Amino acid sequence: TQREFDTDVLVVGTGPMGATTALALAKYGVRVHAISRWNWLANTPRAHITNQRTVEVLRSLGIEEELKQQATAWDKMGDTLFTTSFAGPEIARLQTWGTGDLRFGDYIEASPCPMLDVPQPVMEPILVNAAARSGAQMSFNTEYLSHEQDEGGVTVRLRNHISGQDYEQRVRFLVGADGARSQVAADIGLPFEGVLARAGTLYVQFKADLSKYVAHRPSILHWIVNPEAGFGEIGMGLLRAVKPWTEWIAGWGFDMSKGDPDTSRENALEKIRSLVGDPGLECEILSISPWYVNQQYALEYSRGRVFCGGDAVHRHPPSSGLGLNTSVQDGFNLAWKLAYVIKGYASLDHLSSYGDERAPVGRQIVERANQSRLDYAPMRTAFYGKPSGFSGTLEHFLEGFFAADEQGVETRRKMAEALELKNYEFNAEGTEMNQRYESDGIIGETEPETWSRDRQLYHQPSSRPGAKIPHAWLVGPDGRRISTLDVIGHGCFTLVTGIAGFAWEQAVASLDLPFLRCVRIGIGRYTDPYFYWARLREIDEGGALLVRPDGVIAWRRKEAVSIQRDAETQLADALDAVLGRA
């Protein structure tokens, strides 16, 4: 019985992965306890780029509006600037994060949600607050020590740092959302590929009102090409707005072969002044911390009743802004599956689909983030004539870059090309939105998908099993627009069909499952007056899509079915297969 267990799921970690998992489980009505060894949440800005898919996830979990209120708005994310300093001559600008003239339409077509900039110390309290509000137990100052699992559950050993006491909890499932140094992943011996700490970067968080440098060119990310910050794989310094335009991070690469970096305040102030281009700038330094470029991913995400997600299983640099995003999406994939097993809707075996679906994504984003750093080499070559870092004086560099001679022409041609490559980091909507899952939880189709445009840059809507249901604007009961994403989810499977899909509606009613609903788009609550859905659905009006709680299509029947018995048999078979109940 339930009482044998102190809670159903114990989540180690209250970062983006842990807090999302706890929030989703609580929303789905599962008992969950999330712990963190520290007294509170992220205390440095770290992740901030929040992509559309993540905002969709958080919309589904009911916190999109709260997030928007506290985020830096999409239009302020703006152009990424390449300049010699804030005060000095500019080299180039790239319209980024989908805000550019050439890309904005693609982004708003793909999703009802914007991109947002939400620093981690803003994001985490919103997630944790919502999780606790929804019924999750949260314990801070509580450290995971070890666990033992058997067939029926997991016994977890914890330490309360306030009382100093160790205690045990008996749970059905344990989730390791304990970050890049995951003890849980180590304890279950997950296999990893790749390396840790292949390069070093120093980040300094500071307060200074720099509005006068950015008000006319709003952007949260500025790269600084100058001799003070010309070292390393990127070969540029960085100024990133944490709170526009009064709180910032300054960053630059350091040479790991020379040991630990200089973390003195004097050195930090000198660098900040050079990046801003104001030798007399006064600022309040809040923190100075080195971080290391990792390139490592787990090949498997679980052992028995223990599951890992987030940085515990993928470790990579911030380039492309994929860490928090992927962690939130790991949690969203895992939570409904745990809920379904706990409620008896799915078999224990069904949980293997979590790792089967998410491990390829983890690997892909680790490779992408590291590639995004390597992709600065052509830019450095354009700047400096060689792929290594800055050498010589700034005057000499500027003279060369803006020269009227043939070499100047060639430099600028190369720069234009190098800038184009950065779309794979800064306008990579495909990387963020085109995930396709393959697992026992998906009834896949044999014919391979053809990509009409570059898969990394452009989103491709699809109703193929393994893809997320495409976003289309429908009209809801109150006459307002509502997204297809809003009519599915809420912990349920949704069978999506059209006006002609009457047999499917009858089949769902007759199966009478607590987790299955039917939506006939076009009639009743949701209509398709734009015929937008009709263009995107890729199935006959009387066909059907079986959409999981996380919005992913598990199965589709393209051709119309008009006989209830046929619909019922097909649907029951599909559900048994995707939930491992056969």
Residues within the interface to ligand FDA (CB under 6 A): 12-18, 35-38, 46-49, 120, 143-144, 177-179, 183, 203, 291, 310-312, 318, 321-325, 327
Give 277's DSSP letter.
Answer: T
Closest contact distance (angstroms) between CB of 13 and ligand FDA is 3
If the CB atoms of residues 143 and 566 are measured against ligand FDA, the closer one turns out to be 143
Beta bridge partners of 49: 117
Give 449's DSSP letter.
Answer: P
If the CB atoms of residues 177 and 488 are measured against ligand FDA, the closer one turns out to be 177
Closest contact distance (angstroms) between CB of 203 and ligand FDA is 6
Instruction: Specify the 3-state DSSP secondary structure of 49.
Output: strand
Closest contact distance (angstroms) between CB of 158 and ligand FDA is 8
If the CB atoms of residues 243 and 453 are measured against ligand FDA, the closer one turns out to be 243
Q: How far apart are CA 263 and CA 406, in angstroms?
A: 43
Neighbouring CB atoms inside 10 A of 136's CB total 26
Closest contact distance (angstroms) between CB of 205 and ligand FDA is 10
If the CB atoms of residues 273 and 316 are measured against ligand FDA, the closer one turns out to be 316
Neighbouring CB atoms inside 10 A of 453's CB total 11
- Which helix (H) or strand (E) element contains residue 536? helix 532-536
Residues listed for the chain: 582
Q: How far apart are CA 113 and CA 12, in angstroms?
A: 29
Question: Which tokens in the block code for residue 511?
Answer: 């199966």
If the CB atoms of residues 324 and 382 are measured against ligand FDA, the closer one turns out to be 324
If the CB atoms of residues 312 and 415 are measured against ligand FDA, the closer one turns out to be 312
Give 3's DSSP letter.
Answer: G
Closest contact distance (angstroms) between CB of 248 and ligand FDA is 13
Closest contact distance (angstroms) between CB of 204 and ligand FDA is 11
Closest contact distance (angstroms) between CB of 223 and ligand FDA is 15
Q: What torsion, rounded to 10 degrees, do the Cα atoms 302, 307, 310, 314 define?
A: -10
If the CB atoms of residues 107 and 533 are measured against ligand FDA, the closer one turns out to be 107
Residue 324's alpha-carbon distances to 45, 186, 221, 333, in angstroms, are 12, 21, 17, 14
If the CB atoms of residues 117 and 550 are measured against ligand FDA, the closer one turns out to be 117
Residue by residue, what is the 3-state secondary structure of 183-225?
HHHHHCCCCEEEECCCCEEEEEEEECCCHHHHCCCCECEEEEC
Terminal Cα-to-Cα distance of the chain (whole angstroms): 24
Which residue minimizes CB distance to ligand FDA?
Answer: 310
The closest alpha carbon to 496, from 532, 463, 461, 529, belongs to 463
If the CB atoms of residues 323 and 501 are measured against ligand FDA, the closer one turns out to be 323
Amino acid at 170: R
If the CB atoms of residues 49 and 91 are measured against ligand FDA, the closer one turns out to be 49
Neighbouring CB atoms inside 10 A of 89's CB total 13
Closest contact distance (angstroms) between CB of 572 and ligand FDA is 37
Neighbouring CB atoms inside 10 A of 228's CB total 17
Closest contact distance (angstroms) between CB of 16 and ligand FDA is 4
Closest contact distance (angstroms) between CB of 181 and ligand FDA is 7
Q: How far apart are CA 22 and CA 8, in angstroms?
A: 11
Which residues of 86-140 form beta strands (DSSP E)? 90-95, 116-117, 137-139
